[in-house]
Structure 1
Amino acid sequence: MTDADHAGASARAECDVLVIGSGAGGLSAAVAAAHRGLDVIVAEKADVFGGTSAYSGGWLWVPNAPHAVAAGKGEGAEAPRTYLRAVLGNHYDETMIDAYLDAAPKMLEFFEKNTEVHFTPGSGVPDFHGNLPGAATGWRSVVATPYDGRELGSLIASLRSPIPETTFLGMGIASGVDMRMFLTALRSAKAFTYVTRRVLIHLRDLAVHRRAMQLVNGNALIARLLRSAADRGVALWSSAPARELIRDGRRVTGAVLETRSGRVSVIARRGVVLAAGGFPHDPKRLNDLLPHVQAGTAHSSAAPETNSGDGLRLAESAGARVSSTLAHAAAYAPVSLVPRADGSVGRFPHLVERGKPGIIAVTAAGKRFVDEGGPYHDYVREMIAATQPGQPAVSWLICDRRFLRRYGLGAVKPAPVPIGAFLRNGYLIEASSIEALAQRCGIDPVGLKQTVETFNRHAARGEDPAFHRGVTPYQRVQGDPDHRPNPCLAPIETGPFYAVKVVPGSLGTFAGIEADEKARVLDGSGVPIPGLFAAGNDMNSIMGGHYPSGGITLGPAMTFGFIAAETIAGGDEAEDERYGRKENAG
């Protein structure tokens, strides 16, 4: 839409609610507010909509979701609370967790009943830490249902595409059945037929529309939210970064946007929602909050580069505070750097293949340091802990030809996709022996040879005495169900051998603006700042810097976006005004 250009001519615009950022949190707030009859503008810094959410897997962690209850899998709130207490420890905030567990199912019900946003339950998706009390083996997660991009009409051109390296020829592949079909296409007639059909439809879409139209994962979620926002008259402004907040005393009354046509003062009569994606590309705040960055290791986030901390800085200018007390300030994920033909570098998040049988991760000493198939957040945490002082945090994923051609490795796709381009650009390292591979990577050859020999001896029996891989439900789901005796373990023995270098990265950030259970931004004294709200990664993580399960970013993002809209529409701003008058009078 061209609303930003139109508004720029007058240098002033008005609305009830201004949402800064267009990820799942921001669009959730926008759709819910518009549904309540409010006039909403969404201002996005980039020239496309979707933020990190459009890159994501599209999963939300929502215990007692309507889908689970309808299937007879409702569990009450105590088991999720027990699990979160076990994971979060002293970072467990009862007020925020209770608000989330209460509102998240209502949020899903609202979107399912009133909008184009629909979800599919993850009946077999386990929590990350299956050894802890309260952990579930399924039914706490939902994922955005695939979407036909043609339903977006002209808006499809404004949808952020997935990370290219995570797609096949630009076509997204969903987790679960979809991915399994692609991984077994050369071993199953049913899978081959399925994949052939998907690819042929994709090639048709490329010829007609010049982009993928079979939308899955986070791309489907954002497309559905965009369709729902447009249907409710939400004004969608791209290339419109927010430069400063407008205030009347303590109350935030709008923001100044830098549009294509110049600066526009947007007056928001009811409130401003900050949902600009956190600070994954803000060098100063990364250095302040991430110890490995302070120690000299670069942080390579897979989030869009436009997510550079704008929302946090805007909030601080109004007196808000950004948390510095979380267990971890970022949602860690192992990332490999992919050279591209145009000279740029892609950042591939390793979320899937690490759990498959026949791969290990090692340090420069050639030693394993983690259960490779465990949670991605834990992988990076342990990689940093295993790094010698003064050395950059780095690891290598090691596999053999059988593994590479069956499962792929990072940006390298399984057979029959050729691997030559990755060998030529140096992303994929190949050697005829483990010792030669170590020398090419700068890994200690003796250490790696000993590690592989020990690993192979136990893996052949489906055992991993060092890290107990394949023990929890989450680990086993990450493996290959066709492999026995352990779906997560196989020897690395058939040359040539391969390696990809992995560095610390993230899917986004946890540390954010301190807010209350109504999504109201708080000042340094813990008092709500009238007219200012937060959602998504701009809002401080209710998980305290921990990663209990997949979907603990998008779940709270959409829920607190929904709560922000309900707070604004429900008149809770009157309470904010009383706070303001009380403080001013004092």
Structure 2
Amino acid sequence: MAEFDETFDWVVVGSGAGSMSSALLMKQAGKSVVILEKAEWVGGTTCKSGGVMWIPANRFMDPGEDSVEKGVEYLNAVVEDAPDAPGTSPERRRTYVVEARKMLDFIVDQGVALERGSNFWPDYYDEKPGGVKTSRTVTALPFDKKELGKEWAPKLRKGFLEVPVKLDDGMKLPFMKHSWAIKKIFLKTAVAVVAGKLTGKHWVTAGAALQGRMLKAVLDKKAAKIRVNSPVNEVIIEDGKAVGVVTVKNGKPWRIAANLGVLVNAGGFAQNQAMRDKYMPGTRAEWSNGIETDNGDMHVELERKGAALGQMDQFVGCQTTTAPGWEDDYVKPATQSTTGKPHAIQVDQSGVRYMNEGGSYEEFCENMVVRDRTVPAIPSWAIMDQQYMDNYAVAGKGTAKKNMAKWLESGWMRRGDSVEALAEAIKVPPTTLRNTLDRWNGFVRKGKDEDFHRGERAYDNWLGDPFFKDGPNACMGTIEKGPFYAIPVVPGDVGTYGGVVCDSQSRVLKADGTPIQGLYACGVSTASPMGKVYPGAGASVGPSMTFGWIAAKHAAGMGNQF
């Protein structure tokens, strides 16, 4: 029998969104909770992300716009049940759709200010049965982290967008020159930034706003003790049951007992190159937006304790590029907004276009990795012309007018006065690249991408330019006006997507399919309940919050109360 230094009802490893939702539920049940975070900041990868939750039939949608059955139909249409996707099942998908909206209602009732992400943020496969072309997304309102007080405000992990603007509005700002309404958003944001500095506010939005609001709710309600710099090295199993953990306190091992159970929400293994080489060769840790502590230590520990791992070859891709300064960027420069715009496509190192440049970033990067097994495609090349340069920013690095000279000098961007000259600059066969562009331009003029159907989904067009009028849709434009340009694209990510296999109650399963009693997991510590697909914006954060909440309900015996 293990001896312990301290006892709580519920011990949580990691401080992501699912950790907070579980703590709030346990508080409702009258249970004691400790959250152990190995980093010096609270919030996990959720803080650095968009903080979006994908929740069908949620409270912010219009009556009749969606339903549980429609959400289940959509997931069943896009997610494949297969032996190599043990994290998903019809039961687990239905559980998510049914419980996610309940979790959302509970969180809002705890005082966490949320809203619909946008009235037009389509599902990534909106053409499938049950797909929604409006939006199932939920986001947090901007948050002043000073509300956390002097002790906790510095402990909230930095977000990627620390200004007082709603995430949805922030995504509109690149089109400011086309719309007075968007200009007003910019001016309103600028005024709020200045006012915030004058009044001592520190605004954050997106994932940091979500986690800031969740953290404040936990602190206000005294729902948990939260400890940073507290890595967990071991889950203690006795007689087949998780009974506690070994952490670190004051530099020494500290054993904490868990009366009801242990929840692992410790992130993935995005920064562990050895694990990436083993499970997803061809990807690199330096291309990832995963946080510095995302090293898979709990994947290793739980497997050592008998847990089954699944879907370990999966990652939430986020195509990126090695633009000048990328090594030091807090968030790596993304190219989804580049290749998804008119006047841009992507080719492999043979000069051939090989996929729809719109759509899901997860599928985009998976296509790159798969293509590279037969034709060199890492890096691939985003191809653009002067029409693109005259109208759009490049990979979040600004406009060509201001930056072209340094881009070309660095060698990151390549330019050619003709298609053939560009081909020589990027070392692809000139005839192949010319044929690829001629074929693309023909599709644009016909109004149909006969190879990969770009523009046929609402989401493809959402990624494009809503003000574009010179093509058949918002995302297809010719590439024919020289000079021509190229930048390299690699399969970056926002985190890994595989881990321990869990059941519909979030219990960690052994290889034989039986649960390890008292051991629960959520977030990207698990094999995703979405299998090998990313069905819509927020398909990581939504399940993390929901299955963390479900785990607490099960452990506390409150399953029938919500």
Same fold (TM over 0.5): yes
- Which residue identity lines up with residue 34 of structure 2 in the other structure? I
- Which residue identity lines up with residue 448 of structure 1 in the other structure? L
Rounded to whole Å, the distance in 2 between the matches of 1:244 and 1:507 is: 26
Contact 1:302 1:335 in 2 (8 A): no
1:424 deviates by 4.6
Rounded to whole Å, the distance in 2 between the matches of 1:404 and 1:222 is: 37
Contact 2:319 2:489 in 1 (8 A): yes
1:495 deviates by 4.1
Choose which of 459, 477, 486 in structure 2 pairs with 1:499.
486
Instruction: Report the secondary structure of 1:386's partner residue.
Output: helix
Rounded to whole Å, the distance in 1 between the matches of 2:401 and 2:32 is: 51
- Which residue identity lines up with residue 336 of structure 1 in the other structure? T
Once the two structures are superposed, the pairs formed by residues 82-97 of structure 1 within 5 Å of their partners are 82-91=73-82, 93-97=89-93
Instruction: Report the secondary structure of 1:184's partner residue.
Output: helix
Determine the structure 1 residue equivalent to 2:230.
240
Equivalent pairs counted in the alignment come to: 547
Give TM-score, length-normalised by structure 2.
0.88
Q: Determine whether 1:566 maps to 2:557.
A: no
Contact 1:520 1:534 in 2 (8 A): yes
Determine the structure 1 residue equivalent to 2:85.
none
Greater shift in the superposed pair: 32-41 or 362-371:
32-41
Once the two structures are superposed, the pairs formed by residues 250-289 of structure 1 within 5 Å of their partners are 250-259=240-249, 261-289=251-279
Instruction: Report the secondary structure of 2:10's partner residue.
Output: strand
Alpha carbons of structure 1 residues 160 and 118: separation in structure 2 relative to 1, 3 Å: same
Determine the structure 1 residue equivalent to 2:433.
448
Rounded to whole Å, the distance in 2 between the matches of 1:146 and 1:222 is: 11
Q: Determine whether 1:198 maps to 2:189.
A: yes
Deviations 1:293-325 (A, max 9, x none): 5xxx7783221131111221222232211125x
Determine the structure 1 residue equivalent to 2:114.
118
1:515 deviates by 1.4
Contact 1:35 1:232 in 2 (8 A): no
Q: Determine whether 1:476 maps to 2:461.
A: yes
Contact 2:307 2:508 in 1 (8 A): yes
- Which residue identity lines up with residue 550 of structure 2 in the other structure? I
Rounded to whole Å, the distance in 2 between the matches of 1:258 and 1:425 is: 45
Give TM-score, length-normalised by structure 1.
0.85
Deviations 1:516-572 (A, max 9, x none): 111111223322222211011112211111222222211111100111111222278
Rounded to whole Å, the distance in 1 between the matches of 2:402 and 2:7 is: 52
Rounded to whole Å, the distance in 2 between the matches of 1:44 and 1:421 is: 41
Rounded to whole Å, the distance in 1 between the matches of 2:558 and 2:330 is: 47
- Which residue identity lines up with residue 59 of structure 1 in the other structure? V
Choose which of 24, 46, 54 in structure 2 pairs with 1:53.
46
Contact 2:346 2:380 in 1 (8 A): yes
1:261 deviates by 3.9
Rounded to whole Å, the distance in 2 between the matches of 1:462 and 1:569 is: 57
Choose which of 72, 76, 86 in structure 1 pairs with 2:67.
76
CA RMSD of aligned residues (A): 2.9
Identity of aligned pairs, percent?
A: 30
Q: Determine whether 1:556 maps to 2:543.
A: yes
Gaps spanning 5+ residues in structure 2: where? 83-87
Rounded to whole Å, the distance in 1 between the matches of 2:167 and 2:336 is: 11
- Which residue identity lines up with residue 168 of structure 2 in the other structure? G
Instruction: Report the secondary structure of 2:491's partner residue.
Output: strand
Rounded to whole Å, the distance in 2 between the matches of 1:107 and 1:341 is: 37
Instruction: Report the secondary structure of 1:529's partner residue.
Output: strand
Alpha carbons of structure 1 residues 431 and 38: separation in structure 2 relative to 1, 3 Å: farther
Greater shift in the superposed pair: 508-517 or 417-426:
417-426
Rounded to whole Å, the distance in 2 between the matches of 1:394 and 1:341 is: 15
Once the two structures are superposed, the pairs formed by residues 340-351 of structure 1 within 5 Å of their partners are 340=325, 347-351=332-336
Q: Determine whether 1:161 maps to 2:158.
A: yes
1:285 deviates by 3.0
Deviations 1:45-87 (A, max 9, x none): 222222221222222121111222xx21354333222222221
1:422 deviates by 4.4
Contact 1:338 1:345 in 2 (8 A): no
Rounded to whole Å, the distance in 1 between the matches of 2:542 and 2:451 is: 34
Contact 1:275 1:538 in 2 (8 A): yes
Alpha carbons of structure 1 residues 540 and 402: separation in structure 2 relative to 1, 3 Å: same
Contact 2:349 2:376 in 1 (8 A): no
Deviations 1:487-540 (A, max 9, x none): 111123444433221112222222211111111112233222222110111122
- Which residue identity lines up with residue 507 of structure 1 in the other structure? V
Q: Determine whether 1:302 maps to 2:289.
A: yes
Contact 1:429 1:440 in 2 (8 A): yes
Deviations 1:461-499 (A, max 9, x none): 544333221111111222212112411111234444332
Contact 1:173 1:179 in 2 (8 A): no
Instruction: Report the secondary structure of 2:233's partner residue.
Output: strand
